[in-house]
Amino acid sequence: MKTLLEAVPPELHRGPAAVDTVLAHVAAIHAAFPLDAVNIPEIHEEPSRSSKGERHQPFAPRMAPRELAYQIQEQVGVPCMINRVVVNTPAPELLAWAHETWERYGVNQFVLVGGGLSNQQYVGPSVLQANQLLRDKAAIERLRIGNICIPSRDGELQRLGEKTAAGADFFTTQILYEADELHRLLSALDRAAGPAPDDLWVALCPARTLRNIRFLLWLGVNISDDLEAWLVEAPDEVLHRSLTQIKRVWQSLVQNHPARQSPALGVNLAPIGAIPTEVTVTLAKQLAAIIEEA
């Protein structure tokens, strides 16, 4: 099973010890369950995407994703992909940033992300334009370009086709707690005549507390009212129930999407909160077993 681990850059005010904690966490998981790559998001101040959730911790500046990626690659030996919000940077600067990130930090995998507000004027290129820009002009060895897939979004099938044609090799989904919308998207993609990406990484996020669930809702993760009620019904069982639901989602996807079809499904493990390393490792092994049994 192709597997990514999401590692969030630590807040700057926490100092080198926080970086060491991230490195140790990645190293421990990789030693127990070899990872294909570490996926590092770019964290920005942003508004809530749902009226259901809430965020308790205020935004604080964080370590640059490419700096964390460099340390992970050097000290742990796992390749990294970094997320970049492209709309905030004019095209020439974005191109220079990408080239520098490859030359100085050794990163050649990028997840290009758009803006969160449809009514805002941005200074940088769209994701579609950024794909084409890097593909045509970045001159990065073995460049891999990824984009975000939001299965619930109207017109997502067309977006996937256009972004793939413009240079995207893979997609990572938003965090999923239910499979129906991705099922429909994959079925439509199987029937479509256009290009398909090589890989689609399904983001699965273990959660430990009610606060974690509320934060996922704040981020815009689709969790139905009935599922939310079940997840938080017993506060001491939130982690167990979230793991159970994640395994249900993955089993459903594996059973309904044959391995021979493109894109190949992989897992992007994105633990939230204080999830013990052994829980993440056990989950990875259980998800891999589901594929082996399919």
Is the pLDDT higher at 116 or at 264? 264
Is the pLDDT higher at 25 or at 194? 25
**CA terminus-to-terminus distance, the chain:** 12
Average pLDDT, integer, range 106-125: 88
Cβ partners under 8 Å of residue 187, min gap 6? none
- Mind listing the pLDDT tens digit for each residue in 143-193? 999 999 999 999 999 999 999 999 999 999 999 999 999 999 999 998 887
The CATH fold assigned to 3-293 is: TIM Barrel (3.20.20)
For tokens 């904690």, name the residue: 21
Number of helices followed by number of strands (H, E) in the chain: 10, 8
What's the pLDDT band for 294 if we cut at 50, 70, 90?
confident
- Mind listing the pLDDT tens digit for each residue in 47-63? 555 556 555 667 689 99
Select from 184, 143, 174, 193 the least CA-distant residue to 268.
174
For tokens 């758009």, name the residue: 114
Average pLDDT, integer, range 212-231: 94
pLDDT for res 232: 95
pLDDT for res 54: 56
pLDDT for res 275: 93
What's the pLDDT band for 274 if we cut at 50, 70, 90?
confident
Q: Which two tokens stand for residue 287?
A: 């998800």
Asked whether residue 284 carries a pLDDT value surpassing 90, the answer given is yes
Strand runs (DSSP E) across the chain, as ranges? 3-6, 37-40, 80-85, 109-113, 144-149, 170-175, 199-204, 264-269
How far apart, in whole angstroms, are the C-alpha atoms of residue 9 and residue 7? 6
Q: What one-character-per-residue DSSP string does 111-172 give?
A: EEE--S-TTS--SS--HHHHHHHHHHH---TT-EEEEEE-TTSTTHHHHHHHHHHTT--EEE
